[in-house]
Chain A
Amino acid sequence: MAQEITLKDRYGYMLWMRHFELACLEGVPTREIHGELHTGVGQEAISAGMVGFLSKEDAMCSTHRNHMHAIAKGVDLRAMLAEIFEKSTGICGGFGGHMHIFDPSLKFSATGIVGAGVPVALGHAYAARLKGNQAVAVAVVGDGAVNTGAFHEAMNMAGALSLPLVVVVENNEWAISVPFSASSATETIAERAPSWRAHGIRVNGLDVEEVANAFEAALARARSGKGPSIIEAMCYRFRGHFEGDADMYRSKEEKERRRSEDPLERTKETLVARGLATLEELNEIEKSVVASISEMLASVRKDPSPSGADATRYVFAE
């Protein structure tokens, strides 16, 4: 399946991811979106690198910064945008909000609790073992999550049982205001993997091909029964931890320098340099993505809010 996804396709996904996030940003100052919105602008190459490898049977457990992961898994964009914009047409009817996207038909779920998605992915991985199928469970986390007890517990059990679990760590180097270098006993996350009988690799998370290759290898390892993997993808969060974050903990110089290393620009340059596309062609693709999302946003904005009378529904199934 992976062979069908070209670099140009991945660039297209990165455009969708970037402009989806930018569309979300529009709802913050207008107070259409409440609470702390987390966007992944700058981290697109990691999600785009995961596109095309997963089937419906494979699970993905995501985080508070989940939109791009959901796009990679194939979650319906409009339903997700409507959820984020607090509409009754949202993928969870407005009951979840932007941190809690659930699509059981694709085995996609997200949690707002840092690190809590990894044990859930462990459950999916154990289900694959019980069913005896080739399914893999993918947990995507940030670097902050790797220091939680839940992360260790799940990794240890996955290693002990040799379960098909692939953990993709988006290491953007900052857990809100605390740098990774100040919070980890190890220099990298990848080097911790052997202690859980897992395979660990650190990749450049700005390089969509490097991510895709590592992801494909980790999935193959998992599907062949060789156990869990950790992919540590180095990246940089272009915006604050959430919309409204004053972000004084990172220097202006650092932010400017790191934002200039844009994974979209990088991919675009590679495509042109390799003669796989012309600049004009790529600009046209971007224009069409922007137009599609703009149209989607305009349409979502016309949708109704959930009815207050429904607020006490769904506490119990029975």
Chain B
Amino acid sequence: MARNLNLSQCISEALHLEMERDPQVLVIGEDVGGQGGVFGATRGLQKKYGSGRVLDTPISESAITGMGVGLALEGYRPVLEIMFVDFIGVCLDQVYNAIAKNHYMSGGKVRMPIVIKTAGGCIGSGAQHSQCLWGLFAHLPGLKVVAPSNPYDAKGLMASAVESDDPVVFIEHKGLLLKRAEDFTFGSDVPAERYTVPIGKANVVREGSDLTLVTLSGTVAPSVTAAEEALKKGISVEVIDLRSVVPLDMDTVAASVKKTGKILVVDEDYLSFGLSAEVVTRLLERKISITSVKRLAVPDVPIPGALSLEQEVVPNERSISAAIAETVGKA
């Protein structure tokens, strides 16, 4: 029985439990304190743990991420909120030159147990408030990149992210944050107590034998629906939720493709130089026999403003269904 809460509350529940468990955990960002986050994912934290551990900052992302580095060097575990992932441009320097590299550059002497908690995904907000960008982070060595698709995973992956000694970019999908747990067809049961979901282990959401569909975050649900529809036409689709882009669980993907021989990657991020090509290339490097490949991703255009335009470029149930049919040769 699903508890009456939405996905952002599951994340806030995870943060509550982490802050209670470990006094070194801090939450720092814009509107995370008094307001409890613009999506409510940090609600109640400041009231419970005080304005020292839960700090409302000015709109100063370089200061937020930079101070995260200093705090990590002091032994803290900062959770830094970058409200929308699109804003990472103004502070990417600290993220990829310090947070991602300090462990390496110090020869393993310093650790950066930092969570960069941020919201991504398309909800009709136009080119500067709709990106996913996990491919960008994944390209930069030293960052783990997590993007949950359901309430159960969101809570458990956040616990793992905070507990991790490595920096984790945690991308919450804006289209899922305010969705009620009971409205999810998978991962809707969220225990009240603490638990972890390991980072780097994909989840086979739906088993199938004709085609492997690999996706994550906001496109898992429409992929499952499309897979249900496909079954009515006699196409059995296995849907894999990657959960994280780094580490990329190729063992799970490869085991599935060995069975199906066909791969469709559905990615809400940009098409080129990204997740979809990475998954397919790694399969080829493993010399797995593939008879059909398709990539469905945002076709290298900024996310348009009008919903009628956005629907044309962002994978949805209709385009996923078409891609499934095409990949199995039944288009």
Near A by CB (< 8 A), chain B positions 18-48 give: 26
Q: Indicate if the CB atoms of B66 and A154 lie closer than 8 Å.
A: yes
Residues of A within 8 A of B108 (CB): 93, 95, 313-314, 317
- Given contacts A95-B104, A150-B93, A316-B142, A102 and B66 within 8 Å (CB-CB): no
Q: Could you tell me if A92 and B166 are in contact, using CB atoms closer than 8 angstroms?
A: no
- Is A116's CB within 8 Å of the partner chain B? yes
Stretch in contact with the other chain, from A9-17, A121-129, A185-193, A221-229: A121-129
- Docked-complex contact B71 and A92, CB < 8 angstroms: no
Q: Do A113 and B97 form a contact, CB below 8 Å, given A95-B105, A102-B110?
A: yes
Q: Is B70 an interface residue (CB 8 A)?
A: yes
Among B55, B108, B166, the one with the most A-chain Cβ atoms within 10 Å of its Cβ is B108
| Chain A residues whose CB sits within 8 angstroms of the CB of B65 once the complex forms | 119
Of chain A, the residue at the smallest CB distance from B104 is A314
Indicate if B82 sits at the interface (CB-CB under 8 A). no
Return B274 CB to nearest CB of chain A, in Å. Answer: 20
Contacts of B104 in A (CB 8 A): 95, 314-315
Is A230 on the interface with B (CB-CB < 8 A)? no
What is the total of A-B residue contacts with beta carbons within 8 Å?
A: 152
Cβ-based interface call for B68 (8 A): yes
Given the complex, which residues of A lie within 8 Å of B196, measured CB to CB? none
Q: Which of A101-136 contact B (CB under 8 A)?
A: 102-104, 107, 109, 111-113, 116, 118-127, 129-131
A104-B67 contact in complex given A120-B98, A316-B103, C-beta closer than 8 Å: no
CA distance A223 to B60 in the complex (A): 25
Interface residues of A in 204-244 (CB under 8 A from B): none
Query: For residue A92, which residues in chain B have a CB less than 8 angstroms away from its CB?
Result: 105-107, 109
Q: Find out whether the CB atom of A122 lies under 8 angstroms from the CB atom of B103.
A: no
Which residue of A93, A100, A116, A316 has the most chain B CB atoms within 10 A of its CB atom?
A316
List the B side residues contacting A95 at CB < 8 Å. 104-108
Please report whether the interface of chain A is mostly helix, strand, loop or mixed according to DSSP.
Answer: mixed
Please, which residues of chain B bring their CB within 8 A of the CB of A154? 60, 62-63, 66-67
Q: Max chain B CB contacts within 10 Å: which of A160, A313, A318? A: A318
Encoded as 1 (CB less than 8 Å from any A CB) or 0, chain B from 148 to 167 comes to 00000000000000001110
How many residues on A have C-beta within 8 angstroms of the other chain's C-beta atoms? 47
Is residue A176 contacting chain B, with contact meaning CB distance below 8 A? Answer: no
Known: A116-B66, A150-B66, A153-B60. A127 touches B74 (CB 8 A): yes
Chain A residues 57-76 with CB under 8 Å of chain B are 59, 61
Chain B residues near A179: list those with CB within 8 A.
none
CB distance from B167 to the nearest CB of A (A): 9
* Contact (A119, B105) CB under 8 Å given A104-B73, A149-B62, A317-B111: no
Is B69 at the interface (CB under 8 A from chain A)? Answer: yes
Chain A residues 303-318 with CB under 8 Å of chain B are: 313-318
The answer to whether B109 and A104 touch across the interface, beta carbons within 8 angstroms, is: yes
Residue A147, interface by CB 8 Å: no
B302 at the interface (CB under 8 A from A): no
In the assembled complex, the Cα of A109 lies from the Cα of B107 at a distance in Å of 13
| A residues in contact with B111, CB < 8 Å | 317
A318 to B163, CA, bound (A): 11
Partner of A104, one of B53, B106, B164: B106
User: Is A137 positioned at the interface, with any CB of B under 8 Å from its CB?
Assistant: yes
Most chain A CB neighbours (cut-off 10 Å) among B52, B68, B70, B78:
B70
- B57 interface neighbour in A61, A107, A157, Cβ under 8 Å: A157
Specify the chain B residue showing the minimal Cβ separation from A148: B62
Chain B residues lying within 8 Å of A121, measured Cβ to Cβ, are: 70
A43: shortest Cβ distance to chain B, in Å?
A: 24
Known A92-B109, A315-B142, A318-B164; judge A122-B67 contact (CB<8 A).
Answer: yes
Which of A104, A127, A129, A316 has a CB less than 8 Å from the CB of B166?
Answer: A316
Which A residues lie within 8 Å of B166 (CB)?
Answer: 316-318
Chain A interface residues toward B at CB < 8 A: 59, 61, 90-97, 100, 102-104, 107, 109, 111-113, 116, 118-127, 129-131, 137, 149-150, 153-154, 156-157, 160, 313-318
Can you offer 26 A-B residue contacts whose CB atoms are under 8 A? A91-B107, A95-B108, A96-B105, A104-B106, A107-B73, A109-B102, A111-B98, A116-B93, A118-B66, A120-B66, A123-B67, A123-B69, A125-B70, A126-B71, A130-B52, A150-B62, A150-B66, A153-B63, A154-B63, A154-B67, A156-B58, A157-B67, A314-B107, A316-B103, A317-B111, A318-B164
